């Protein structure tokens, strides 16, 4: 059966492609470690062929999202300002004409002080995770740079980024705290870290040091240091994001968690401890979002 | 002239020694890159000889502070609990008997929730920076792990650590933010970062991402990224520490800044923007502290 669309989630380190039939059902999936950072000398056309296992079929439209549309990608798709719905995204598509490839723009949001925040790729996952019919929705995308987004009637109104995943990685790999850690999983240490960051007056740059002092005094096992640190960082994100949700008058919304299952499970625990109900978004949010954007852009019927 | 005391500030990466006369005046200073981490196989006696440029003179007492008293040092000097004054510190000295060497213990403070905080070496600098006569004093020691300490009548009542310097280092060297930075100094970017972190509702793990987005949108020069990041981190420390000062009923105290001049100048700027008056502590706070502790311990007259 021939494809009606090829959708590609093309990130920094890896790429995933899906072939869709005319009804938006996935016919096949391809993945390859061919993220934007790993493609040398702008050889994106060759990387795409590798990813798809051959030339893209003649006449089938292609739609890609993610870092492929950044300055370091194939073709820059300038950020579209929030609030942004399907029409704004469709209007911001850029095209690699000779390939029949369209690239989804990222989104930019300026807060009350005018400071910009950006996403690229997550907007597509959010569109894929939208309830149907679309009402008011809080979508949380854990990751290296976690995003919290408020959606209203299928428009992404605003969002905020937290560098939780990257802070965890650099602290584990390069700080004194990481040097104290011994491999292991410790759910109690994780929850202890969450609780510490959720208490009123918690200060991350101070509390991080307690991973060291508690280990020094034998009150935290070396096997628990990494999980305690993870709990501190997730707890700090959740505490701050709940303030953000409240300031934006969105209390009482469940959080829709979108991302890798193991990471979402950690956020689910942190949200539960903070008293926020969460539910799982679709596992194939990027694929669903690409299909939906393609429809709104008239690339498929 | 023969020395009455040899004092040593023996840290993780380097060591400094002073020879004092009977009145506590410095006769000579020695420095060497022979910090605890750089001494192999416990050869501290040999390292001390290198530092002093020969065997320690017979009959002259030696007093050392810093990581030399940690588990990785020459001999562990268990932490003394806060509040702690000269008597408690003198009571906690440990001795390498055959060398005539005493080692100053670090301090431990448990906050209201029982979470421990520790210092090792800074207690000696604080004693060296005490006003005479000693009243109530706020001492700030910027560094890899910055310390804020409240002193009352020459007793260190309580203190708090902020991992500001280490966060700055790992983010500059290993994160996406550091990769955006180009070498340069930008005082305006530094103050912009301070201001961002001092605003109500500031969230460090969110605001850090603005170093990236502002650079992406051309609103922050690549030469300003590192200083903006430094400002964000210092501002977050100052904002949190002012809350700590307030909770401990110590508003209105000037901060006495103790540490490297260039770093203290940055803190002085951040404190001024936050509305806290600061003054410089003595440049030789560790040496003065060692002398004072030695006197209180009866090692010198």
- Residue B133: per-residue pLDDT: 85
Of B118, B196, B240, the CB nearest to A206: B240
CA distance B187 to B192: 9
CA distance A199 to B18: 45
Taking an 8 Å cut-off on Cβ atoms, the answer to whether A161 and B113 are in contact is no
Taking an 8 Å cut-off on Cβ atoms, the answer to whether B219 and A116 are in contact is yes
What letter does residue B174 receive in the DSSP assignment? H
Phi and psi at residue A30, to the nearest 5°: -130, 140
| Judgement on whether residues A101 and A178 belong to the same structural domain of the protein | no
Is residue A153 assigned to a domain?
A: no
Residues B228-271 pLDDT 10s: 999 999 999 999 999 999 999 999 899 999 999 999 999 999 99
Chain B residues near residue A206 by CB distance under 8 angstroms: 160-163, 240
Is residue A91 assigned to a domain?
A: yes
Is residue B297 assigned to a domain?
A: no
ipTM metric: 0.94
Taking an 8 Å cut-off on Cβ atoms, the answer to whether B116 and A217 are in contact is yes
Q: According to the per-residue pLDDT averaged within each range, which of A131-135, B155-159, B251-255 is highest?
A: B155-159
Taking an 8 Å cut-off on Cβ atoms, the answer to whether B115 and A174 are in contact is no
- Residue A1: pLDDT band (50, 70, 90) is low
- Residue A2: per-residue pLDDT: 83
| Judgement on whether residues A261 and A288 belong to the same structural domain of the protein | no
Give chain A's domain count: 2
| Judgement on whether residues A78 and A190 belong to the same structural domain of the protein | no
- Give the C-alpha distances (Å, rounded to integers) separating B193 from B102, B209, B231, B267, B269: 44, 12, 4, 13, 12
Indicate which CATH number applies to the domain containing B82.
Answer: 3.30.420.300
- Residue B2: per-residue pLDDT: 83
Please answer whether residues B193 and B226 qualify as being in contact, where contact means their C-beta atoms are separated by less than 8 angstroms.
Answer: no
Which whole number is the average pLDDT over A49-57? 95
**Containing structural domain, residue A177:** 162-280
Please answer whether residues A209 and A226 qualify as being in contact, where contact means their C-beta atoms are separated by less than 8 angstroms.
Answer: no
- Residue B97: pLDDT band (50, 70, 90) is confident
CA distance A220 to A225: 7
Is residue B207 assigned to a domain?
A: no
CA distance A200 to chain B (A): 12
- Residue B147: pLDDT band (50, 70, 90) is very high
Run of H or E residues at A216 = helix A204-216
Please answer whether residues B12 and B67 qualify as being in contact, where contact means their C-beta atoms are separated by less than 8 angstroms.
Answer: yes
Residues A165-217 pLDDT 10s: 999 999 999 999 999 999 999 999 999 999 999 999 999 999 999 999 999 99
Give the chain A residue whose CA is nearest to the CA of B107. Answer: A213
Chain A residues near residue B240 by CB distance under 8 angstroms: 203, 205-206
Average pLDDT, chain B: 96
DSSP alpha helix (H) spans, chain B: 44-52, 86-91, 122-129, 164-174, 176-180, 187-198, 204-216, 225-247, 261-273, 285-296
| Judgement on whether residues A74 and A24 belong to the same structural domain of the protein | yes
> Considering only CB atoms, which residues of chain A are within 8 Å of chain B?
108, 113, 115-118, 145, 160-164, 166-167, 170-171, 173-176, 196, 199, 201, 203-206, 208-210, 213-214, 216-217, 219, 233, 236-237, 240, 243-244, 247
Residues A64-110 pLDDT 10s: 999 999 999 999 999 999 999 999 999 999 999 889 999 999 999 99
Chain A residues near residue B222 by CB distance under 8 angstroms: none
| Judgement on whether residues A110 and A21 belong to the same structural domain of the protein | yes
Indicate which CATH number applies to the domain containing A215.
Answer: 3.30.420.310
B295 contacts: CB under 8 Å, gap ≥ 6:
B24, B301
Give the chain B residue whose CA is nearest to the CA of A117. Answer: B213
Is residue B26 assigned to a domain?
A: yes
- Residue B1: per-residue pLDDT: 62
> Has residue B142 got a pLDDT over 90?
yes
| Residue B142, token pair as written in the block | 């910027």
Residues A285-294 pLDDT 10s: 999 999 999 9
Which whole number is the average pLDDT over A228-247? 97
> Has residue A159 got a pLDDT over 70?
yes
Is residue A138 assigned to a domain?
A: no
Please answer whether residues A80 and A156 qualify as being in contact, where contact means their C-beta atoms are separated by less than 8 angstroms.
Answer: no
- Residue A97: per-residue pLDDT: 87
Is residue B27 assigned to a domain?
A: yes
Looking up tokens 């959740």 gives A238
- Residue B71: per-residue pLDDT: 94
CA distance B127 to B288: 8
- Residue A136: per-residue pLDDT: 95
| Judgement on whether residues A289 and A273 belong to the same structural domain of the protein | no
| Judgement on whether residues A18 and A118 belong to the same structural domain of the protein | yes
The model's pTM: 0.95
| Judgement on whether residues A13 and A39 belong to the same structural domain of the protein | yes
> Has residue A272 got a pLDDT over 80?
yes
Is residue B56 assigned to a domain?
A: yes
CA distance A284 to chain B (A): 27
Which whole number is the average pLDDT over B289-301? 96
Share of chain B above pLDDT 70, in %: 100
**In a 3-state reduction of DSSP, which class is residue B253?**
coil
| Judgement on whether residues A20 and A83 belong to the same structural domain of the protein | yes
B179 contacts: CB under 8 Å, gap ≥ 6:
none
> Has residue B218 got a pLDDT over 80?
yes
């Amino acid at each position: 059966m021939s494809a009606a669309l090829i959708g590609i989630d093309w990130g920094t380190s890896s790429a995933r492609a899906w072939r869709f039939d005319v009804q938006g059902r996935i016919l096949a999936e391809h993945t390859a470690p061919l993220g934007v950072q790993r493609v040398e000398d702008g050889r994106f056309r060759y990387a795409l062929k590798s990813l798809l296992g051959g030339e893209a079929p003649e006449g089938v439209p292609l739609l890609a999202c993610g870092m492929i549309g950044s300055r370091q990608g194939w073709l820059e798709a300038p950020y579209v300002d929030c609030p942004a719905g399907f029409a704004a995204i469709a209007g911001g598509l850029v095209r690699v004409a000779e390939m029949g490839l369209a690239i989804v723009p990222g989104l930019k949001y300026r807060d009350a002080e005018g400071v910009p925040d950006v996403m690229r790729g997550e907007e597509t996952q959010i569109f894929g995770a939208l309830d149907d019919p679309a009402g008011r929705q809080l979508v949380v995308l854990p990751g290296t740079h976690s995003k919290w987004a408020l959606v209203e009637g299928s428009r992404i109104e605003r969002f905020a980024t937290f560098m939780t995943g990257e802070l965890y990685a650099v602290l584990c790999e390069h700080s004194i705290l990481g040097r104290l850690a011994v491999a292991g999983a410790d759910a109690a240490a994780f929850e202890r870290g969450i609780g510490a960051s959720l208490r009123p007056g918690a200060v991350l740059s101070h509390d991080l040091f307690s991973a060291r002092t508690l280990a020094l005094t034998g009150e935290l096992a070396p096997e628990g240091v990494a999980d305690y640190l993870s709990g501190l960082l997730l707890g700090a994100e959740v505490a701050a994001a709940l303030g953000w949700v409240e300031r934006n008058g969105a209390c009482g919304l469940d959080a829709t968690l979108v991302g890798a299952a193991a990471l979402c499970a950690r956020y689910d625990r942190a949200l539960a401890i903070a008293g926020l109900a969460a539910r799982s978004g679709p596992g194939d949010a990027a694929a669903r979002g690409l299909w939906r954007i393609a429809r709104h852009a008239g690339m498929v019927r």
